[in-house]
């Protein structure tokens, strides 16, 4: 046994009695044990080794074609009271859900091995970290959790011998039956159940399930925040680093921003960008009264298609060793990986993501994809060329600014700042974007996604906004400033006007200058905007007039948007904080 913690031992015994595995293996995190598991996964065909010279230590896995993305319609929050889950989550009574799930897990691991995975979300030794224990019958899960978390014996040291504060995770592949697929959270029981899936987002229970859905609920009760945010640091030529947290719905350039490469105008002066996290931030008030953040994860679970040397070189470099690739294509000539958007040369001798041998260029010409649009890489964070020296700092990093953003063709300007924290919570609550392939469902529909947390908030979103407002009260004048950005304004032909990618740093520099009182702003109906000349466009093929255009606020469009916000807010009934209603009314008055 790796622990004497009676709470853990008792729970694992219960899970063994329920699932009835042939064998139980406790994961200690040693390289020796992991290598044996890799060998076993390769020998059974569950995984495949890739080219050792090009991609040392890398493995390939394909999931069942019916199991390739998060399934929001099969994802439940089971709180005792329905109103505590709120109108944006699927709810079922915990007793009913247990009554349905328990028979599904009964004997589900007969003939299989149960792996017991202890893991820490956050650096070992940090007061901000939390521990989980996931039991699973999937080696794929063990090997991914090794990359994504601090996994093994050390997590039990973090937990201690008496604590009961650990998140219980039960995962069984079962038959990978989509009709019986359930991803279920019991926030009041600190428990997650996943069955009939083998896809990362549904089975790596430390990720969205624990780090956002369960942790957001814990944060509300314990006075901290779990947010769907990247964390990046910008170092100036004097060596000072300022940190920003930013929330974007999927496919809005979050990973690209997290791993931003400074444009030449800043690079040659000695500016650097450091990645602390690309997806999730846990935020707490520090001893100095400021807001501090850690990245609870230890790796990147990134979307492969579209990742290339131009769009995100740092992400690409992160995948060059000890990475697990899921549902991408294989180039059979060199046993390496390929996906749409990697380069313009699809392999002729290819294996597409479902396993068929095809001629890549011909296959694509017929309208097919070689890699699944939501295919993934699981890469160790320490592989990233710009990983922050503070990545493992148990204290985390102090946050100067919080940035929200969506994908709007015409409505939102390039950047604006909220009037204050309360208005900033309003700005986060009205985020909207067009849907993408990362979640199953229709593509291109405008969808409200407050703080990019709609699919990930483990309790009622009305209470969540109230918690944000409380955090603001607590932080007082030490609270980070709040901003909104939109890299996706288009011209009348539908082309993006702003260059994006590394040039987004030009906007971040104005944001940091505002935080330090070094930049002016213009008051508009929606918030404070930069003076067009205060956005550095040196070296860009655009003019100050273009910036003026990107900052324009069309009151007609905003009035329409205000109606959409009102409709969205109406879902929350009495749970909508009065402050949010007040902020909406004030916006309407300013627009009028």
Pairing of the two strands 350-351 and 113-121: unpaired
Write out the binding residues for GTP. Answer: 251-256, 376, 407, 501-504
Predicted local confidence at residue 170, as pLDDT: 99
φ, ψ for residue 424 (rounded to 5)?
-65, -40
Return the CATH number at 332: 2.170.8.10
Establish if 422 belongs to a structural domain.
yes
Both 310 and 273 in a single domain?
A: no
Longest dimension (CA), the chain: 69
Is 28 in a helix, a strand, or coil?
A: coil
52 within domain boundaries: no
What mean pLDDT is predicted for residues 202-213? 98
Both 289 and 405 in one domain: the answer is: yes
109 with 204, same domain: the answer is yes
Q: Are residues 415 and 535 in the same domain?
A: yes
Domain boundaries, position 332: 300-383
**Count of structural domains, the chain:** 3
101 and 217 assigned to the same domain: yes
Residue in 468, 462, 568 with CA at minimum distance from that of residue 84: 462
The mean per-residue pLDDT over the stretch 167-192 comes to 98
Residue 460 neighbours by CB under 8 Å, 6+ apart: 83, 84, 85, 86, 87, 572, 575
d(CA 119, CA 403): 30
Asked whether 418 and 482 are in contact (CB, 8 A), the reply is: yes
Quote the CA–CA distance of 332 and 51 in Å, as a whole number. 10
460 pLDDT more than 70: yes
- The answer to whether 401 and 480 are in contact (CB under 8 A) is yes
270 near 386, Cβ under 8 Å?
no
> Quick one: 428 and 573 in the same domain?
yes
Contact between 136 and 142 (Cβ < 8 Å): yes
β-pair type (59-61, 48-49): antiparallel
Q: What is the distance between the alpha carbons of residues 109 and 175, in angstroms, rounded to a whole number?
A: 11
Answer yes or no: 252 catalytic. Answer: yes
Tell which of 203, 223, 243 closes a domain: 223
The pLDDT assigned to 253 comes to: 87
350 close to 338: Cβ distance less than 8 angstroms: yes
Poorest-pLDDT segment among 88-92, 400-404, 442-446, 515-519: 442-446
CATH number where 134 lies: 3.40.449.10
**CA dist 94 → 22, 175, 202, 261 (Å):** 29, 24, 19, 47
Residue 63 covered by a domain: no
CA-derived radius of gyration, the chain: 24
Tens digits of per-residue pLDDT, 558-579? 999 999 999 999 999 999 999 9
Report the candidate in 381, 325, 312, 326 with the shortest Cα–Cα distance to residue 147: 381
**How high is the pLDDT of residue 445?**
65
Q: Does pLDDT of 286 surpass 90?
A: yes
What is the structure's pLDDT at 437?
A: 57
Domain identity same for 404 and 547 = yes
Distances (CA, A) of 465 to 84, 145, 176, 280, 584: 13, 31, 36, 18, 14
Q: Does any domain span residue 77?
A: yes
User: Which of 252, 384, 386, 457 is an active site residue?
Assistant: 252
**CATH code at position 410:** 3.90.228.20
Confidence of residue 1 (pLDDT cuts 50, 70, 90): confident
d(CA 212, CA 460): 13
157 and 33 in a common domain: yes
Sequence-distant (6+) residues with CB within 8 A of 339 are 304, 305, 307, 328, 329, 370, 371, 375
- Asked, for residue 56, whether it belongs to a domain, the answer is no
282 inside domain: yes
For residue 115, the tally of other CB atoms under 10 A from its CB is 22
Last residue of a domain, one of 223, 258, 278: 223
pLDDT above 90: residue 494: no
> What whole-number distance in Å separates Cα of residue 392 and Cα of residue 147?
14
Angle (CA) 526 282 293, round 5°: 80
pLDDT band (50, 70, 90) for residue 432: very high
| Any domain includes 60 | no
Both tokens of 361, joined, read 């260029």
Burial class (CB in 10 A: 0-12, 13-18, 19+), 574: exposed
Q: 577 and 440, same structural domain?
A: yes
What is the Cα–Cα distance from 592 to 590, expressed in whole angstroms?
5
Measured in whole angstroms, the distance separating CA 265 from the mean position of its chain's CA atoms is 30
Q: What percentage of the chain reaches a pLDDT higher than 90?
A: 95
Residue 591 is predicted with a pLDDT of 98
- Residue 441: predicted pLDDT: 61
> Which residue numbers belong to the known binding site for substrate?
70, 199-201, 250, 374-376
In whole angstroms, what is the distance from residue 200 CA to residue 191 CA? 18
Annotated binding site for Mn(2+): 208, 228, 279
C-alpha–C-alpha distance, residues 35 and 25, integer Å: 14
Together in a domain, 261 and 377: no
Residues 98, 235 within the same domain: no
In three state form, how does the secondary structure of 305-374 look? Answer: CCCCCCCCHHHHHHCCCCCEEECCEEECCCCEEECECCECCCCCCEECCCCCEECHHHHHHCCCCCCCCC
3-state secondary structure 429-477: HCCEEECCCCECCCCCCEEECHHHCCCCCCCCHHHHHHHHHHHHHHHHH
Per residue in 66-95, pLDDT (tens digit) is 999 999 999 999 999 999 999 999 999 999
Question: 13 pLDDT exceeds 80?
Answer: yes
- pLDDT above 60 (res 141): yes
Which of 329, 348, 383 is the last residue in one of the domains? 383
DSSP helix/strand/coil, 548: helix
Residues flagged as binding site: 70, 199-201, 208, 228, 250-256, 279, 374-376, 407, 501-504
Residue 569 three-state SS: helix
Q: Per-residue confidence at 438, pLDDT binned at 50, 70, 90?
A: low
Counting residues of the chain whose pLDDT is more than 70, the rounded percentage is 98
Q: Flag whether 58 is in a domain.
A: no
- Please give the DSSP secondary-structure letter assigned to residue 540: S
Same domain, residue pair 441 and 532:
yes
pLDDT tens, 29-52?
999 999 999 999 999 999 999 999
């Amino acid at each position: 046994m790796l622990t004497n913690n009676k709470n853990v031992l008792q729970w694992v015994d219960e899970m063994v009695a329920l699932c009835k595995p042939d064998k139980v293996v406790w994961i200690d995190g040693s390289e020796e044990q992991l290598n044996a598991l890799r060998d076993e996964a390769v020998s059974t065909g569950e995984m495949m080794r890739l080219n050792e010279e090009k991609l040392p230590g890398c493995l390939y896995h394909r999931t069942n074609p019916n199991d390739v993305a998060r399934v929001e319609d099969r994802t439940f929050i089971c709180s005792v009271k329905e109103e505590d889950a709120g109108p944006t989550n699927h709810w079922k009574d915990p007793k009913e859900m247990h009554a349905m799930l328990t028979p599904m897990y009964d004997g589900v691991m007969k003939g299989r091995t149960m792996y017991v995975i202890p893991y820490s979300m956050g650096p070992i030794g940090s007061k901000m970290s939390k521990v989980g224990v996931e039991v699973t019958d999937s080696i794929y899960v063990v090997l991914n959790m090794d990359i994504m978390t601090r996994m093994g014996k050390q997590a039990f040291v973090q937990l201690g011998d008496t604590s009961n504060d650990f998140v219980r995770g039960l995962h069984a592949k079962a038959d990978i039956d989509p009709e019986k697929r359930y991803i279920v959270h019991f926030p009041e029981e600190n428990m997650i159940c996943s069955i009939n899936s083998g896809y990362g987002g549904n089975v790596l229970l430390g990720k969205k399930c624990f780090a956002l859905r369960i942790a957001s609920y814990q944060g509300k009760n314990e006075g901290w925040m779990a947010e769907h945010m990247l964390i990046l640091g910008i170092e100036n030529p004097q060596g000072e680093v300022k940190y920003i947290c930013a929330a974007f719905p999927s496919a809005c350039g979050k990973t690209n921003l997290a791993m931003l490469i400074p444009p030449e105008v800043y690079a040659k002066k000695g500016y650097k960008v450091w990645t602390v996290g690309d997806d999730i931030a846990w935020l707490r008030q520090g001893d100095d009264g400021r807001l501090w953040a850690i990245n609870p994860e230890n790796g990147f679970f990134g979307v492969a298609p579209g990742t290339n040397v131009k769009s995100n070189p740092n992400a690409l470099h992160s995948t060059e060793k000890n990475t697990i690739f899921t549902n991408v294509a294989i180039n059979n000539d060199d046993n390496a990986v390929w996906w749409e958007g990697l380069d313009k040369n699809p392999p002729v001798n290819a294996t597409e993501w479902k396993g068929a041998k095809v001629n890549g260029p011909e296959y694509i010409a017929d309208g097919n994809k070689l890699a699944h649009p939501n295919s993934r890489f699981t890469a160790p964070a320490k592989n990233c060329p710009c990983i922050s020296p503070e990545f493992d700092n148990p204290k985390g990093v102090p946050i100067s600014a919080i940035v929200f953003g969506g994908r709007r063709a015409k409505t939102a300007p390039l950047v604006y700042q909220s009037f204050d924290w309360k208005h900033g919570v309003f700005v986060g609550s009205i985020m909207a974007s067009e849907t993408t392939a990362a979640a199953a469902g229709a593509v291109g529909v405008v969808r409200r996604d407050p703080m990019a947390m709609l699919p990930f908030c483990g309790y009622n979103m009305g209470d969540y906004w109230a918690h944000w407002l409380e955090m603001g009260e607590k932080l007082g004048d030490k609270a980070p400033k709040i901003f909104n950005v939109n890299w996706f304004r288009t011209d009348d032909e539908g082309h993006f006007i702003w260059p994006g990618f590394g040039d987004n740093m030009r906007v971040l520099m104005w944001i940091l200058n505002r935080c330090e009182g070094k930049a002016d702003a213009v008051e508009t109906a929606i918030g404070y905007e930069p003076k067009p000349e205060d956005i550095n466009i040196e070296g860009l093929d655009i003019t100050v007039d273009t910036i003026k255009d990107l900052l324009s606020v069309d009151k007609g469009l905003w009035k329409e948007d205000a109606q959409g916000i009102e409709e969205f807010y109406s879902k929350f009934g009495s749970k909508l904080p009065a402050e949010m209603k007040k902020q909406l009314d004030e916006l309407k008055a300013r627009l009028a």
